[in-house]
Amino acid sequence: MRRLPLIDRSAPGWGGHLFEGTYAYLVYNIGIFTGTGINNPRNDDKKMLYMGRIQWNFLGRDVPFSQSDPEYTPLPIGSIAFAGAHNRTDRMVFPGTRGGTVVDGQFEVDQGVQEFAFKWNGLSIQEEFHVKEVTNTTTQTKTTSYGAYAQVGYFPHAIFDFVPRPLEFAYRYAFVDPNDALRSDVLREHTVAANWFFAGHRNKITLDYSHLTQPGFTPEDRVRLQWDVSF
C-alpha cells in the first residue's frame, strides 16, 4: 500500500510505537523535509515540508505495508491511519519539472490521506482516500484534487483445499479527480485480477482486466499479464 515518505537524507524524521500489544496500539511518524523531492538537499525557499502520520493497529498486532495475504495470516490484523502534509514548493507534483515562469515557493500544498487495512487467513482488504489542495500564491487560485481506491483479495484455498494455495483473486475500484471544479476529468477504474505467488511478493505473476472510464471519452478495456521479480 502506498504511504507518505517518512524520512530522507535532506531532513530529519521521527517515529515510534505506543501501547504495543494492546487494542490501543499506535504507530506514529513525523518529519521535516526540504520539500523538493527524495534525496534532494536543495530547498527552493526557506520554508520546509512538514508531515505527520498516525496508525491505529486496532487488533493489537503489526500490519505490514503490503497487499494480499499469501502468508495466510493466522490471527486477524487491521489498521486505520491518517496522515497529512504541508509544503511550499516550486512544483505541484513530484517527480516533475518546474515551468519557465514558476518562482521558488510559488505553490502552497496541503494534503491528507485516510487508510484502512485488514488481513486474515488469505483475505486482504485495503482502502485509501486522498485529498490535496494546491494554492498558486502568484495568481491566488486554488485547485482541489481527490483520489481513492478500495480492493479486496482472497485465496480460495483457505476454504477449498482443491484450489492451489498460491492462487489469489482480487477486485479493485479506484478514481482520480484532478480538479474538483470540473466534472469532465474524473477517471475511474474497475479491475479484476488473478495472482499466482511463487515466493510471496518477491516472485509472482498477475493477470488482470481493467475497465477505465472518463466523461467524454470512449471507455478503455485493458488486459495485462505481468511477472514481478525482485531481489
Q: Look at 7 and 45; give whichever has higher pLDDT.
A: 45
User: To the nearest 10°, the Cα dihedral for 136, 53, 29, 231?
Assistant: -90
Residue 87 corresponds to which cell in the numbers above?
509544503
3-state helix, strand, coil in the chain (%, to 5): 0, 55, 45
pLDDT of residue 42: 76
pLDDT of residue 7: 36
pLDDT of residue 5: 38
pLDDT of 59 over the 50 cut: yes
Q: Give the DSSP letter string of 108-173.
A: EEEEEEEEEEEEETTEEEEEEEEEEEEEETTTTEEEEEEEEEEEEEE-GGGT-TTS-TTEEEEEEE
Between CA 115 and CA 89 the distance in angstroms is: 26
**Chain segment 123-163, per-residue pLDDT in tens:** 999 999 999 999 998 889 999 999 999 999 999 999 999 99
Between CA 196 and CA 155 the distance in angstroms is: 10
Q: What is the pLDDT confidence band of residue 12, given thresholds at 50, 70 and 90?
A: low
Query: What are the boundaries of each domain within the chain?
Result: 13-229
pLDDT of residue 195: 98
Percent of the chain with pLDDT over 90: 71
Collapsed DSSP state (helix, strand, coil) of residue 61 = coil
pLDDT of 11 over the 90 cut: no
Which one, of 3, 5, 65, 56, lies nearest residue 31 by Cα? 5
- List the strands of the sheet with 107-120, edge to edge: 13-18, 25-33, 49-57, 77-89, 107-120, 123-136, 141-154, 167-177, 187-197, 203-213, 220-229
Q: What is the pLDDT confidence band of residue 37, given thresholds at 50, 70 and 90?
A: confident
Q: What is the pLDDT confidence band of residue 111, given thresholds at 50, 70 and 90?
A: very high
Is domain 13-229 in CATH 2.60.120.920, yes or no?
Answer: no
Q: What is the pLDDT confidence band of residue 104, given thresholds at 50, 70 and 90?
A: confident
Q: What is the pLDDT confidence band of residue 35, given thresholds at 50, 70 and 90?
A: confident
